[in-house]
Amino acid sequence: MLKLPASLPVVLVHGGLYDEPPMTAQSFWVDTGVAQLLRGRNVEVFVHERPTQPTSWVEEAEALAATIEASGHERVAIVAGSNGCSAALRLLVDRRELIARTMLCWPATAGDPVIDQLARIIITDAVDDNAADRLLDGRPIRGTTAEELATIDSEIVLYPSMPENTAHRRSTQTELITTIPGVIVVGGSPEPFDEAFAEFVDNFVDLVEAFSKVHHDD
């Protein structure tokens, strides 16, 4: 008899966008204990390292696709944090056959004039203004349009930022819920780079473990 895996492989996608020092998979998922705790529960985990200075979300999606393809699995579950949500959604729109389901954690707010202006200065200094245009474009989340998100037909779980803050507003979460069909909202916590996340890490891992469980239609 063919023995099916108990869970889908999980690809963790960290946050950050031209931070200094750069936010990394190590600081976001490993140092916070998330990756190790999941592996301790027999969840197969792949930690994706995003490009440090991407020039577009298409470039980000291609890098994420390469990590999935290198994993040896045809389809995975994606758990993305903050600006990593933009990379995950861009890939889901472009190559949805790679992703069984997606968990969007602490999605980063697009369109805030102060945050975007600061990001534009940093990106333009590092690369050029065209890269800034591409990376800051998109609503309700950077990298995709509302029309593209409305076509998504796979499972999407939203894990909000709680409490909200300037870079992770509740309005962004509300827009995603009303734009993407059938979004499921669960839990919520500060982001991993916030010291307060340590109080939530076990509950967060509980949710990711449950999210990874194989469904009959996977």
pLDDT in tens, 120-163: 999 999 999 999 999 999 999 999 999 999 999 999 999 999 99
Tens digit of each residue's pLDDT (9 = 90 or more) over 12-26: 999 999 999 999 999
Residue 1, pLDDT score: 38
Is 126 domain-assigned? yes
Provide the 10 A C-beta neighbour count for residue 118: 12
pLDDT for res 3? 47
**Residue 217 belongs to a domain:** no
Q: What is the DSSP string of the chain?
A: -PPPPSB--EEEE---SS-SSPP-HIIIIITTSHHHHHHHTT--EEEE---SS-S-HHHHHHHHHHHHHHHT-S-EEEEEETTHHHHHHHHHHH-GGGEEEEEEESPPPP--HHHHHHHHHHHHHHS-HHHHHHHH--SSSTTS-HHHHTT--SEEEEE-BSS-BTTB-HHHHHHHHHHSTT-EE---B--TTSGGGGGTHHHHHHHHHHHHBPPTT-
67: tokens are: 């990590």
**Is 155 within the bounds of a domain?**
yes
Q: Which pLDDT value is given to residue 217?
A: 62
- Domain containing 105 — which CATH number? 3.40.50.1820
Cβ–Cβ < 8 Å for 56, 135? yes
Number of domains observed in the structure of the chain: 1
pLDDT of residue 215: 72
Alpha-carbon gap, residue 28 to 127, rounded angstroms: 24
Which domain does 51 fall in, by range?
10-212
Rounded mean pLDDT for each run of 10 residues along the chain, 218 residues in total: 70 97 96 98 97 97 98 97 98 97 98 96 97 97 97 96 96 96 97 96 98 77
Q: What is the pLDDT of residue 6?
A: 82
- Answer whether 88's CB lies under 8 Å from 104's CB: yes
Beta bridge partners, 213, equal 7
pTM as predicted: 0.96
Residue 3 lies in a domain: no
88 in any annotated domain: yes
* 5 is a domain residue: no
- Quote the pLDDT of residue 74: 94
Determine, yes or no, domain membership for 1.
no
Residue 218 resides in a domain: no
